[in-house]
Amino acid sequence: MAVIKTNSEEARLLGRLMRAEAEGEGEQGMLMVGNVGVNRVLGDCLDFPSIRTITQMVYQSPGGFEATQKGYFYQKARERDVRLATRVINGERIWPASNALWFFRPEGACPSTWYNQQNTGRFKSHCFFSPTAGDCPTVY
């Protein structure tokens, strides 16, 4: 059962985002990017108070995703991309992105905080950052 309202078009859009942001990190990395996206829709907190749909989340500006500025993002979603997106829409969570609202790829080690948010861990090249349950209870 979906944890956020969506439709097939938005599942394809999320799949495209996951692929563009983390295809090189494999399916697990793509699922983590999906977790961050779903958490932003669930969040209603911090940088995401008016984000209620996958479309709003993907194209948020400022504060959105770099991938939307690259041609690779605009390729058609593959079946695999949609399948992975559907898994996170249905509530599958992968640590360290389980409650994360942000991620980025640093040059070196992950900083302990990023914009005052705690580092929850690293997967391959990406570091993930989560708010506290007090700051954003809806992602917990």
- Structural domains of the chain sorted by starting position, each given as residue range(s) with its CATH number in brackets: 8-139 (1.10.10.2520)
The pLDDT confidence band at residue 90, using thresholds 50, 70 and 90, is: very high
User: How long, in residues, is the chain?
Assistant: 140
Instruction: Determine if residue 46 is left, alpha or beta; phi over 0 gives left, psi from -120 to 50 gives alpha, anything else beta.
Output: left
72 vs 35: CA distance, rounded Å: 21
Q: Is the pLDDT of residue 28 over 90?
A: yes
What pLDDT score does 62 carry? Answer: 86
What pLDDT score does 127 carry? Answer: 98
The pLDDT confidence band at residue 114, using thresholds 50, 70 and 90, is: very high
What pLDDT score does 63 carry? Answer: 81
E strand intervals along the chain: 102-104, 113-114, 117-123, 126-130
In sequence order, the 6+-apart residues with CB closer than 8 A to the CB of 92 are: 31
**DSSP output for 29-60:** HHHHHHHHHHHHHHH-STT-TT--SHHHHHT-
pTM equals: 0.96
For the segment 6-11, the average pLDDT, to the nearest whole number, is 97
The pLDDT confidence band at residue 20, using thresholds 50, 70 and 90, is: very high
What pLDDT score does 1 carry? Answer: 83
140 vs 71: CA distance, rounded Å: 34
Q: Is the pLDDT of residue 100 over 90?
A: yes
What pLDDT score does 31 carry? Answer: 98
Burial of 139 (0-12, 13-18, 19+ CB in 10 A): buried
Residue that has been written with the tokens 């593959």 in this structure: 78
Percent of the chain whose predicted confidence (pLDDT) is above 70? 100
